[in-house]
Amino acid sequence: MSFSPLKNLDYSMLQQCMHCGMCLPTCPTYDATKLERSSPRGRIALMRSIADGHLESSRLFAEEMYFCLGCLACETACPAGVDYTRLFEMARWEVERSAKLSSAQRSFWRWAILQTLFTRPGLLRLVGLLLLFYQKSGLQILFRKLGLFRILPRYWQNLEAQTPACASRFSHELIPPLWKIANPRYTVALLTGCVQDLIFSEVNKDCAFVLAQNGCEVHTPPLQHCCGSLHAHNGDMETARNLARKNIDLFPIESIDAIISNAAGCGSHLKHYDKLLEDDTLYADKARVWSAKVKDIHEWLAQIGFAKPVKSASLKKVCYHEACHLCHGQKISRAPREILESIPDLDLVELPEATWCCGSAGVYNFTQPEMSARLLERKMRHIQSTSAATVATANPGCILQLQHGARQRRWPLEITHPISLLADSYRLSS
Ligand code: SF4
Ligand code: SF4
């Protein structure tokens, strides 16, 4: 192995951990196993041993790094300010460089998903259209009734059961490239994402509408690139860096006031473009401007003072699940609650362990189905205890995971984005 990301990392980042263990009770994988190596402190110690040259990247190390959810609960708990986001990305990069998990099948899926599908937005939409045809034509129902999937191994059967329903129209068909308003107070750009665009384009439309209602002129480029978080979190840093450059080139970053993200995982990563491109002589300055302007939509609305809605449809009991990359990755907890609390007749009830990961964690539900299911079970139990009919959460992965949990249990639970609830209330008020 020629290049080692951990050996080339600023060593003080690893030294920052003082082994106090305050992160341990907040870590879902440590909670499940009680193994030191599955804790944040243990993982950092393993990373440091590799950086010191005392340990070679092994299969066990690789599995441990992929057992980590990347939920960043440890980062919130840490009194020493350890940058676990960066350490986690470097460790997974180390794993891929050392090829300790490599197999022909794994390499194929990584190539197909990371390097092909999620680097070509047009191709991703084409796959979305094919999926839509399969779902709307009745083929999916027919195949399920015929039991065709029963010949597949259990893992693939479970995956099939989780196939999300594709949106019938993508974001560019719902949102104009420029949403003009009279006397705008701000000019912003809206990021439509990739999964969000394919499955939750209505959430994007709601966000554009809410921004316009709050005095923002909204630029929404019709075809956008993936933010690259999937790549950075799965050890493909080169593709992550390329996608960051493409996004920076796509948006008029100097002339807008803010770049708005509505997906927690994307927003958390987009705010780190400055670190991702700090050694890129052409892009480092632009990336700094970019990072300073990226705002989560709740954060932005709270910052500019959003208009309080005056009507809502009927009394709704809602609980709020805090997406890890919003509460831990971006430290945004108060603003979404403020928005939900502002909706008349919305009864916001507290969800126990609201900041505990639901097990979605990017593609964790595919790569670690058992641990993911265990976390989902815990989350669903807490949701049930609130007797809320609606769960609000601000990440497409969490919405899909909770929808899957509700389907499995046959619960008529509504899972939605906080901004969609605000948009509904604005529409009633106008
Ligand atoms: S990111 Fe989450 S799972 Fe990973 S070490 Fe930190 S708390 Fe544990
Ligand atoms: S809380 Fe921070 S300093 Fe303490 S063991 Fe965990 S990562 Fe290290």
Ligand 2 centre and the CA of 82: distance in Å? Answer: 7
Cβ atoms of 287 and 270 within 8 Å: the answer is: no
Burial of 90: CB neighbours in 10 Å, binned 0-12, 13-18, 19+: buried
Evaluate: CB of 19 within 6 angstroms of ligand 2. yes
Strand partners, 347: 317
Q: Which residue's C-alpha comes closest to atom 4 of ligand 1?
A: 68
Q: Which residue's C-alpha comes closest to atom 3 of ligand 2?
A: 17
pLDDT of residue 1 exceeding 70: no
Ligand 1 centre and the CA of 70: distance in Å? Answer: 5
**pLDDT at residue 157, as a whole number:** 79
Per-residue b or e along 404-428, where b marks 16 or more CB atoms closer than 10 Å to that residue's CB: bbbeeeeeebebbbbbbbbbbbbee
**pLDDT at residue 161, as a whole number:** 79
> For residue 311, which phi and psi values (nearest 5 degrees)?
-135, 155
- Tell which atom from ligand 2 comes closest to the C-alpha of 22: 1
**Ligand of minimum distance to the alpha carbon of 71:** 1
Q: What is the mean pLDDT of residues 195-209?
A: 95
Q: What is the mean pLDDT of residues 113-117?
A: 94
Pocket of ligand 1 (CB under 6 A): 26-29, 40, 43, 68-74, 84
Provide the residue count of the chain.
430
**pLDDT at residue 164, as a whole number:** 84
- Per-residue model confidence as pLDDT tens digits over 65-92: 999 999 999 999 999 999 999 999 999 9
Residue whose token pair is 């920076």: 248
Ligand 1 centre and the CA of 161: distance in Å? Answer: 27
Q: What is the mean pLDDT of residues 330-357?
A: 97
Q: What is the mean pLDDT of residues 279-285?
A: 97
| Ligand 1 site-directed mutation target among 69, 95, 268, most atoms within 8 Å of CB | 69
**pLDDT at residue 158, as a whole number:** 77
- Per-residue model confidence as pLDDT tens digits over 348-400: 999 999 999 999 988 898 899 999 999 999 999 999 999 999 999 999 999 99
> For residue 35, which phi and psi values (nearest 5 degrees)?
-95, 130
- Per-residue model confidence as pLDDT tens digits over 10-44: 999 999 999 999 999 999 999 999 999 999 999 99
Q: pLDDT: is 265 or 429 the higher one?
A: 265
Question: Is residue 9 very low, low, confident or very high in pLDDT (cuts 50, 70, 90)?
Answer: very high
Evaluate: CB of 154 within 6 angstroms of ligand 2. no
Q: What is the mean pLDDT of residues 94-119?
A: 94
Ligand 2 centre and the CA of 22: distance in Å? Answer: 6
Q: Which residue's C-alpha comes closest to atom 4 of ligand 2?
A: 20
To the nearest 10°, the Cα dihedral for 100, 97, 57, 60? -40
**pLDDT at residue 153, as a whole number:** 78
**pLDDT at residue 174, as a whole number:** 97
| Ramachandran assignment for 217, one of left (phi > 0), alpha (psi -120 to 50 degrees), beta (any other) | beta
